Structure 1
Amino acid sequence: MMLRRSALLLPFALPLAAAAQGAPEIGTAARPVRVGVTQGVHAQTFEKVAEVLRRDGLHTRAVEFGDFIQPNAALAGGDLDANAYQHLPFLEAQRAQRGYDFVPVGKTVLTLMGVFSRRHRTLEALPQGGRIAIPNDPTNGGRALLILAEAGVIRLRPGADFRATVADVTENPRRLRFVELEAASIVRALEDVDAGAITGNFAVPAGLNPLRDALAREDQRSVYTVLVVVRRRDESAPWARRLAAGYAHPEVREFVERQFQGAVIPGA
């Protein structure tokens, strides 16, 4: 009986095995590497990376997102092979909160965060009770508070780092009110608040240069360089290594420096 059952299954097993063996290799034109990027700076930079990699025989396809949460969800779900939009503090927070088994395999660019205003020309001009928009994600919100603390606008508890929240503000002499918004929406909210903390990937497409237009900005030695991130099982995959190496190509570095005029810094 068992022999007859095996014989019946055998014709179906062979086509499945053949299909698995015939699957196109990742990085080919038939199966490009799917890379998640956020709109603006990261999408523009990746377009140049993809051009360089294509000449070297590695085919890629960009998938653009408008928020910081979906690119990791898509990577975990298998809809992406990699993403290139998040820095290490954000990645660590996502791994802790959501259990993602992701690892960085390379660096891309640093998009400086600045505090911008449509109403005021200096931080000193911020009014009593002014409204300051900061990102509502757990790392970029703290990043914004650190910039304001370093500029002397507020004071944070001793030892506060990128995980700081509004609860860590110990001195706020102007009684500033912090409005926590999705990072991508702060540019649009500038008309309605006194100032907003915006990362370069959202500021630059809106015509705001952190080096020229910001009331305050973070140091260029920031720890927030964006990473190429993959699932742990793909950490040593040749395509992952080649993808990461693409960001260090001289043509890509030259493109970033020319295109963004110092507001975005090559990280690889």
Structure 2
Amino acid sequence: MKKWLLSSLIVVAIAALAACGSKDEAANKGEKAEGLLSDGKLTVGVTAGPHEQIVEKVKELAAEQDLDVEVKVFTDYIMPNIALDEKDVDLNLFQTIPYLEQFNEDRGLDIVEVGKAVTFPMGIYSSKVKDVKDLPKGAKLGLPNDPTNGGRALVLFETAGLIKLKEGSGNTPAVKDIEENKNNFEFIELEASQLPRQLDELEAAAINTNFAIEHGFKPAEDSIFIESKDSPWVNVLAARPESKDDEAIQKFLDVYQSDEVKQFIDETFEGSVIPGW
């Protein structure tokens, strides 16, 4: 009986030690998981098109500094931030500050800017006219359906002389903020990535540069009106607040904002994408 009891106590003790070991191991794994290079890579989420091309160049240069970058490509403006919040990526690049602020507010997130990237001047495109002045009365004009890019498009329409917005409507007005529409233009709000595909169904549309380039347009040549080069809508690198100062992210930012990458942008996109740092 005593031997059985002693054996039982030994088994319990071993199990307890094993459990403690498992907890410690799990804790260590948890701590390791928090490190951005826990799997040997810095994972960066980007939208397809120019951002992808630029980050692939950064990846090439970062490898020379022993920074292994994995590029994860998205085709919309929602999932890159969701993936960042859920730790599927460590960093993302696709959005402007107004979009980021609105997304954080709408979703209750706390994603933060890490550094400036590039500016994609939004343009107005048409398969039917060559000049915004030639748009007929009652023309259907497409614009993104998210508040930030939609507001940006409306400001672009105003700058092009097509409409007049209410005073004080800021950088993110809505269609309801149109004060003057002399030509009775009809505004069609669509998901940003769909606008190039729907262009033949519209007289014109305000399209983000990354989606325009992905569709085969050369913004500086093919747009019928485009934002000026001093556009305030610079895209930013974004991260979770607890990792924004991580050494890997800072190294990536340094490579991104290097002269080599600036030269690559200038030579590759010929003014359609502008370094914003």
Name the TM-score class by shorter chain: over 0.9
1:238 aligns with 2:247: yes
Which residue identity does 2:87 align to in structure 1? G
1:140 alignment partner in structure 2: 149
Residue 108 of structure 1: SS of its match in structure 2? Answer: strand
Tell me the CA shift for residue 20 of structure 1. Answer: 5.2
1:185 alignment partner in structure 2: 194
2:42 alignment partner in structure 1: 33
Which residue identity does 2:92 align to in structure 1? N
Q: Which runs of 5+ in 2 are unaligned?
A: 1-10
Tell me the CA shift for residue 37 of structure 1. Answer: 0.5
Residue 68 of structure 1: SS of its match in structure 2? Answer: coil
1:96 alignment partner in structure 2: 105
Identify which range, 91-100 or 219-228, moves more after superposition: 219-228
**Cα 1:6–1:165, aligned 2, differ >3 Å: closer, same or farther?**
farther
Q: Max radius of gyration: which structure?
A: 2
How many Å separate the matches in 1 of 2:122 and 2:195?
A: 12
Residue 101 of structure 1: SS of its match in structure 2? Answer: coil
What's the Cα RMSD here? Answer: 2.1
**Cα 1:75–1:182, aligned 2, differ >3 Å: closer, same or farther?**
same
Per-residue CA deviation, residues 77-103 of structure 1 (Å, 9 max, x unaligned), is: 121111111110100101111111111
Which residue identity does 1:41 align to in structure 2? P
Tell me the CA shift for residue 16 of structure 1. Answer: 4.5
Residue 147 of structure 2: SS of its match in structure 1? Answer: coil
Q: 1:46 aligns with which of 23, 45, 55?
A: 55
Contact 1:101 1:232 in 2 (8 A): yes
Residue 187 of structure 1: SS of its match in structure 2? Answer: coil
**Cα 1:21–1:119, aligned 2, differ >3 Å: closer, same or farther?**
same
Which residue identity does 1:207 align to in structure 2? G
How many Å separate the matches in 1 of 2:260 and 2:21?
A: 47
Tell me the CA shift for residue 111 of structure 1. Answer: 0.9
Residue 239 of structure 2: SS of its match in structure 1? Answer: strand
1:127 alignment partner in structure 2: 136
Contact 1:128 1:176 in 2 (8 A): yes
2:176 alignment partner in structure 1: 167
Tell me the CA shift for residue 255 of structure 1. Answer: 0.8
Residue 106 of structure 1: SS of its match in structure 2? Answer: strand
Per-residue CA deviation, residues 172-207 of structure 1 (Å, 9 max, x unaligned), is: 011001110111111111111000101111112323
* Total equivalences in the alignment: 266
1:266 alignment partner in structure 2: 275
Q: 2:78 aligns with which of 55, 66, 69?
A: 69
Of all paired residues, the percent bearing the same amino acid is 35
1:207 alignment partner in structure 2: 216
Q: 1:198 aligns with which of 195, 207, 220?
A: 207
1:56 aligns with 2:65: yes
Identify which range, 133-142 or 8-17, moves more after superposition: 8-17
How many Å separate the matches in 2 of 1:27 and 1:125?
A: 54
Tell me the CA shift for residue 6 of structure 1. Answer: 7.2
Contact 1:33 1:59 in 2 (8 A): yes
Q: 1:249 aligns with which of 258, 261, 266?
A: 258
Contact 1:204 1:260 in 2 (8 A): no
TM-score by length of 1: 0.93
Residue 127 of structure 1: SS of its match in structure 2? Answer: coil
Which residue identity does 1:173 align to in structure 2? K
Tell me the CA shift for residue 124 of structure 1. Answer: 1.2
TM-score by length of 2: 0.90
Tell me the CA shift for residue 14 of structure 1. Answer: 1.9
How many Å separate the matches in 2 of 1:12 and 1:84?
A: 42
Residue 142 of structure 2: SS of its match in structure 1? Answer: strand
1:220 alignment partner in structure 2: 229
Tell me the CA shift for residue 21 of structure 1. Answer: 4.2
Tell me the CA shift for residue 249 of structure 1. Answer: 1.4
Contact 2:36 2:90 in 1 (8 A): no
